[in-house]
Amino acid sequence: MSNSPQSNPNDQEIDLTQLSKKIGGIIQSFVDWLFDGILFIRNNIVVIGVLFIIGAGLGFYLDIKTKVYDHEVIVTPNFGSTDYLYSKIFLIDSKIKEGDSIFLKKIGIKNPTKFTRIEIEPIIDVYGFINNSEQNFELLKLMAEDGDLKKIVKENMTSKNYKYHLISYTTRGKSEEESTLNPVLNFLNDSDFYKKIQKEYLNNIAVKIKENDSIIAQINGVMDQFSKTVNSNQKSDKLVYYNDNTQLNEVLKTKEGLINEKGAKRIELVTSDKIIKEISTTLNVENTKFSYGKKKFILPILLIVLFVLFTKLIRFYKEQLAKRNLA
């Protein structure tokens, strides 16, 4: 004899009836809510219209009056000053957040209240990082064995070793180089320690170029003497044999390497005239993020929503008073 419970068709009909009533109630509630909204708009159409016009007008005025602009400058920190650069940018940003206008004016920033944000991030250049040193390549391979390469190239330990870094900042209204950019760059380059490092570094480059010139001149002298010997032997109809012991190819390769190194050192002189060297700047790009330039749309909606909430609150208050009086 089976002990399993038998389903009752009447119970199933009751469950379906209750479910259909619940669904019907939900639909009716939505219809009532929608109709109440239509009635609310009809009864308050004048107030809603006035609020919309006021909000749109005020938003349009604020959009024109308080336009926000982004600015970017690409820099390269010289003489191992990357950590110094980041600490200086973090200091300026903290002073902006604190509203420390005295500090910002002290470093030369005009209208500090319009200076709203400054950040710095590395410009990821893995190939440049690898080509700069074979040790960098081996280090990156070693780190990649124990982790995600995409994360590693963005980590501070790696990213701060990239050559170029992007400083970005935001101002209310347009900004010229003299009012924000130049004071920031002057502040970044104001370091007695790194100025001494820079002086010695430039002296070393000058010495290296001078020594390379001297060695190249000596090689040229040897090559001239060699050329004269060859020409003399050819005129005297003597047969001359040359073998690898002359190391002529090595001498030529050495000269080529010295010339390339000299060219690289001259390029270093161009980029080493400052501790933090600016490479390129882009100023006054209008910020078009969500809230910027769209107050003409946001404020009318905000005023209407606040009006609806206030009206609902008044109605709720009156209903509660009525219940208490009846009780």
Distance (Å, rounded) from C-alpha 320 to C-alpha 230?
A: 115
Distance (Å, rounded) from C-alpha 279 to C-alpha 191?
A: 20
Surface-to-core class of residue 200, CB atoms within 10 Å of its CB (0-12 exposed, 13-18 middle, 19+ buried): exposed
102 and 153 belong to one structural domain:
yes
20 and 143 belong to one structural domain:
no
pLDDT at residue 150, rounded to an integer: 55
Evaluate whether residue 5 is within a structural domain: no
Task: Encode 8-50 in three state secondary structure.
Answer: CHHHHHHHHHHHHHHHHHHHHHHHHHHHHHHHHHHHCHHHHHH
Tens-digit pLDDT profile for residues 17-55? 777 777 777 887 777 778 777 877 888 888 888 888 888
Residue appearing with tokens 């050329």: 227
Reported as half-sphere exposure (CB side, CA atoms, 13 A), residue 113 has a value of 1
75 and 99 belong to one structural domain:
yes
pLDDT at residue 21, rounded to an integer: 72
Distance (Å, rounded) from C-alpha 327 to C-alpha 322?
A: 9
177 and 118 belong to one structural domain:
yes
pLDDT band at 174 (very low <50, low <70, confident <90, very high): confident
pTM of the model as a whole: 0.63
For 95, the domain range is: 67-191+274-286
153 and 238 belong to one structural domain:
no
Evaluate whether residue 257 is within a structural domain: yes
Report which of 112, 114, 91 is spatially closest to residue 102, judged by C-alpha positions. 112
231 and 128 belong to one structural domain:
no
146 and 278 belong to one structural domain:
yes
139 and 80 belong to one structural domain:
yes
pLDDT band at 185 (very low <50, low <70, confident <90, very high): very high
Distance (Å, rounded) from C-alpha 143 to C-alpha 157?
A: 11
Tens-digit pLDDT profile for residues 192-239? 999 999 999 999 988 988 888 888 888 888 777 777 776 666 555 554
CATH number of the structural domain spanning residue 160: 3.30.70
Q: Which residues of 33-55 are buried (b: 16+ CB within 10 A; e: fewer)?
A: eeeeeeeeeeebeeebeebeeeb
- Average pLDDT, stretch 95-103? 91
The answer to whether 205 and 79 are in contact (CB under 8 A) is no
213 and 258 belong to one structural domain:
yes
Distance (Å, rounded) from C-alpha 99 to C-alpha 95?
A: 6
Tokens of 277: 């060297």
- Residue type at 112? P
Distance (Å, rounded) from C-alpha 208 to C-alpha 197?
A: 16
Cα end-to-end span (Å), the chain: 60
